[in-house]
Structure 1
Amino acid sequence: MSALLAVVGLVALALSLALPVIVKPLLRRLGVIDIPNDRSSHTTLVIRGMGVAVAAAILAGLALSLATGLVAVDRSLILIIFLMVGAASALGWIEDFRGLSVRVRLAVQLLIGAAGTAALATTIDESSYWWLPVGAIAVAAYINAANFMDGINGISGMHGVVVGAFYAWAGLLSDQMWLIVAGLVVAAAFAGFLPWNLGRGFVFLGDVGSYLLGASIAAIAVTGLLAGVYLEYLLSPVLIYLADTFSTFLRRARRGERLSAAHRQHVYQRLTDAGLTHAQVAVLVSVLSMLTGGAGFVLATAAAPLAVSVSLFAAAVVALYLSSPRIVRAVRGAVGRRTAVRG
């Protein structure tokens, strides 16, 4: 079984690494290009839409786990995740290629979440239909969170690797093979995308990729919640993304800004404006996500005194991230003044 699990992960990794060789020229011919503006974190024309390759890798890995019998129990859970991820990726591709109104995008995202949650409730426990609005909102919210956070090289790929790995670990601790497989496939596929996103001649995931990332994580999380996986296992690895997204949303709402307008107010964007490189910010976000993820995994089964300490630690990590642009600017300013005095 472990050998077959490794094969499924390697297939997802290999496809994600190899498919861009074919997909990149096709995207160029189709004109799926990202044109930089004053809100962008890049300055040159970049091919977007490479999430198509990552989506193919994830869907192939999930399909292979079913075809080989790797997931012998709860096969329907993998199938539902497959359908939710495929539908969200298709929506993202339409947005990349043709464009859609905000209302249409949101309506379809909610529909994907509601339909997926209804299917999960039917499969797992028919008494859990009351989760349907929660699942619908969770899927739509995290698709948009992943889309908002996909603004610099490396950040989405690393997020997929980190969260996928934590979810695979959660599946191991919960003895749920479907969760091990789903987490591993997501981690492997986004790991395969990283060299294309961080190397020379880099490419972007595009909306198809950010929708894929958000839907994959949200679909796994909603499935895990209904399947009895600890909430801490599912929520803790995504705390940094959620904190950045919702703190920015609240800040802009307080200022009365048009929430659908492009901007550069996310924490990760302000970190690049403060002087950090894309790779440095992506690594920082990933490391802090690993810290909150690790804290959540301890918290899930901790006794009361330890639980309080671990919760405070996770809150401190989130607070550190939200304050990091000010900290970076202060440190760089102090270093600059010291250098000027010595010169």
Structure 2
Amino acid sequence: MFLPSYALAFFCLPCATLLSAIIVRSMVRLAILDHPDHRSAHTRPTPKGGGIGVMTTFGLFYPVLQAATGQMVLSFPFLMEACALVLLCGVSWLDDLYQWPPSIKLAAQIIAACLIVGGGIRLTWPTPLAGAAISILWLVFITNAVNFMDGLNGLIAGCLTCAAFVLALVAPFFGVPELFWPALLLAGCLLGFLPFNFPHARIFLGDVGSQGCGLLAGAAALYGASHTTQPSGWLLGPALLFPLIYDVLFTLVRRWSAGQSLVTAHRGHLYQVLHRSSLPITTISILEWGLTLWGGAIACLVAPQTHVWGSISGITLLILPQLVWTAWSVLRAHQGTIGKW
């Protein structure tokens, strides 16, 4: 039954892409609109909720893939992660509809993170309790980072698609082959959405998509860090997400140092500055995809390194292109007329 089961698993991938596209197209027709405001990159009302296609398809096919590849479907970690996704995506969709206060979204993110950590996907160092706390903070941060960076056509969907494909490709090398199928499935679901969002946006992911995908990405990074067999394999998840992590951290530090509010909506992310300086959206998004692939290459390069300097060199190689990205953003901001940064 080995070959037929894996044939079924591979057959599920194009089916997931097709179903995701069908649901996304239905959401375009449903036309629950995102109206542009002062910080929007789009200029006309555009449907949101494309993430419903991505997350619904992932939820439907993931158990099938688990069963077809011999994984336990009703395991405790699986059920806890499923509950976390249902909770977060449900609250996010209602927020897309009714614009709830940020405190409600944050509470849902924390509860979802606690469910995943309680299910066993967590760090165990430096101590089990500290590792659990770090894991919760990481999941909440990554969920928000993906949400914050979801502001240009194809940026987040493309970055996460690249990250998922790289994760699937290198998962056996890092000693976590069980991430192969979930990563491919998420990539397939996102590929069903991407043509509707890039290069021209007929629909956006919305919070349900960006936060749901952010939670999945954060959980995969945690699982990889805690189960990898490579000495420096913990870097894989953060390296693949590094373009998002860097932009968010840089923006938070810059706004804090300037005495600006950290919770007020703004247009100060590096990708937003580049867009406001008239750099084409397609150029920005494709360059961000490239930085994601760079992160995957660096993680593979330093993974076998046993000395701490291996990890330090990897982090340095991740930061260097981001410093160039930052300098380019600052230069274009000064040369253009983008107004207050």
What TM-score do you get using the length of structure 2 for normalisation?
0.86
Matched, 1:34 2:34: yes
Distance 2:72 2:13 in 1: 17
The alpha-carbon deviation at position 14 of structure 1 amounts to: 1.6
More helix by share: 1
Deviation (angstroms), 1:165: 1.4
Q: How does 1:45-60 map to 2 (within 5 A)?
A: 45-60=45-60
1:276 is aligned, of 255, 259, 279, to 279
Aligned position for 1:321: 325
Unaligned 5+ runs, structure 1 = 334-343
The aligned counterpart of 1:260 is 263
Which residue among 239, 243, 268 is the counterpart of 2:242?
A: 239
Residue 108 (structure 2) aligns with = 108
Alignment-derived partner of residue 339 in structure 1: none
Deviation at residue 51 of structure 1 after TM alignment: 0.7
Residue by residue, what CA displacement relative to the aligned partner does 1:66-91 show, whole Å, maximum 9, x if unpaired?
34344359955444443333332222
Q: What amino acid maps onto 2:274 in structure 1?
A: L
- Asked if 1:137 is matched to 2:140, the reply is no
Output aligned runs, 1:300-315, within 5 Å. 300-302=303-305, 310-315=314-319
Aligned residues: 327
Q: Check the 8 A contact 1:74/1:178 in 2, yes or no.
A: no
Shift, 1:294, TM fit: 0.8
CA contact (8 A) 1:155 1:282 kept: yes
Hey, what does 2:88 align to over in structure 1? 88
2:25 maps to a residue whose letter is V
Matched, 1:17 2:21: yes
Q: Deviations over 1:127-158 (max 9, x none)?
A: 84542211211111111101110011010110
- Aligned pairs for 1:326-341 (under 5 A) are 326-328=330-332
Q: Who is 1:171 aligned against?
A: 171
Structure 2 unaligned runs (5+)?
none
Which residue identity lines up with residue 97 of structure 2 in the other structure?
F
* Aligned-pair CA distance for 1:273: 1.2
Distance 1:200 1:145, change over 3 A: closer
Note closer, same or farther for the CA distance 1:201–1:170 as it changes in structure 2 (3 Å cut): closer
CA distance in 2, matches of 1:309, 1:202: 41
Which secondary structure state, in structure 2, belongs to the residue aligned with residue 66 of structure 1? helix
| RMSD over aligned Cα atoms | 2.8
**2:11 aligned with 1:7:** yes
